[in-house]
Amino acid sequence: MKKGILLYVLIIICFGCHRTTNTDEKKDINLQNNALNIDTSLEDTPEVKGDFTIYEHDLSMYNEKYFMSITPRIDSAKNKYETNILLTQKIDTIFNKVINIDSLGKTILKHKIFEDSTEHFKIATEYELRKVVYHGVRTNDLYFEADIASETRQKNLKILFQISYLNKGETGKLFVNGFNEKGFGPNAGEIENERNRKVKKATNTI
């Protein structure tokens, strides 16, 4: 009788050890699978390239003072570089404009800005936005220069665009003036003085 009880106890212990081992093995496999999934998701997300410096500018136009910030960021939904341009006067927001490669490309097509006939159709699909800087002001419009690049075509272009800040009904409207490889001259926002400031690197996503 005692031998039978002892044998029964040994069987129970062995069975319990076997279940524990199987459970631990399953946990290890699940952890490995989770790690592989994380690594795969990271590998599938390409690096977003671009200048992530925040630019701040104190502007004076028609004897009125304005503040403008150019803040680059990553659109997490599309994993693409874009820039937010905010213009304020005291406590009032004049415009708050998001600039990305889609808005620039669509504007070029809409207004038939075909300075380089081989490139204009490819800007929204084969190029990526890399940087936006303040170029200057003329009458009622602020001008900006954008750097775009195509890794597949190994080509870089400059785009000059403007945003209206004073015209009623036109405030915040984007219009592209042209694009080329050389650029459009010195950018007022990159001149080192007390009115232009480089604040920090912005890497936040939306």
Query: pLDDT tens digit string along 64-101?
Result: 999 999 999 999 898 999 999 999 999 999 999 999 99
Residue type, 206: I
Name the percent of the chain lying above pLDDT 90: 51
pTM exceeds 0.85 for this model:
no
**Locate tokens 């490889």: which residue?**
181
Distances in whole angstroms, Cα of residue 64 to Cα of each of 54, 85, 89, 90, 161: 23, 19, 8, 10, 23
Return the structure tokens found at 46.
Answer: 């390409």
How many other CB atoms are found less than 10 A from the CB of residue 137? 17
- Picking from 137, 176, 173, 175, the residue whose alpha carbon sits closest to that of residue 159 is 176
Could you tell me how many helices (H) and strands (E) the chain has, helices first? 3, 9
Q: Which residue has the higher pLDDT, 105 or 64?
A: 64
